Amino acid sequence: MQSNQYSVKVFETTITDETEFKEFFEVNYTLFKDHLILIKGEMSDDIKKYLQDKKLQYLQNINLPKGRSRKALEKEFQILEAEAAINKQIAEAELKKLSNKLQNNLTVLDDRVRSGHELNIDGDLLLLNRVNSGATINTTGNLIITQVVEGAIRCHGNFMMLTASPKANIVFHDVEVDNSLLEDRLNRVELKNNEIIITPVLKKEINWAL
């Protein structure tokens, strides 16, 4: 897929007086000729013709997404980092709590599993990063992933702990798990008496690590 990303300058206005509107753009044409004109409310055929004659690009009654400030972006990154840290602590707590279920050979990785990569683990796996769409993890043992999973998971251990996106394909003991049960939160998926049990891991459970 080929794609391009553009930064577009937008001038938003409401037409209350058509003559005043035209006079404004006559005076400020050079300033706004490279803008996208966003017009709210009614617009006559005369105004449409005027804009077309001036070769001004316009949209009418469209809600464009608002750009976020640098401060807002920094705050969002801080939240994401905090959530990742919480997930990591929860994962470590789970390892301690469920240590009697863990096999002897535990692999710990901190690398992102990228698209096109297949990871085959004989034993347990603790992954402190995300699984991209198009990537695959196969593990014979237990599995804990602290960041979001968008790829394919094949697990044959006693339990998994992960958060899955709608893109993910999660198979536990050859049974595909419904993604809607795994979204937007960390989940513990266990095999008990030949039944798959899914339990959300609440953030307050981080107290286990204390």
DSSP letters, 99-159, are: GGG--S-EEEE-S-B-TT-EEEESSEEEE-S-B-TT-EEEESS-EEEEEEE-SEEEE-SSE
pLDDT classification of 26: cutoffs 50, 70, 90: confident
Number of domains in the chain: 2
Residues 23 and 99 in one domain: no
| Residue bearing tokens 């464009």 | 64
Lowest mean pLDDT among 103-112, 126-135, 200-209: 200-209
Residues 204 and 102 in one domain: yes
- How many residues appear in the chain? 210
pLDDT classification of 2: cutoffs 50, 70, 90: low
What pLDDT, on a 0 to 100 scale, did the predictor assign at position 205? 43
- Domain enclosing residue 205, as ranges: 70-209
Domain assignment of residue 1, yes or no: no
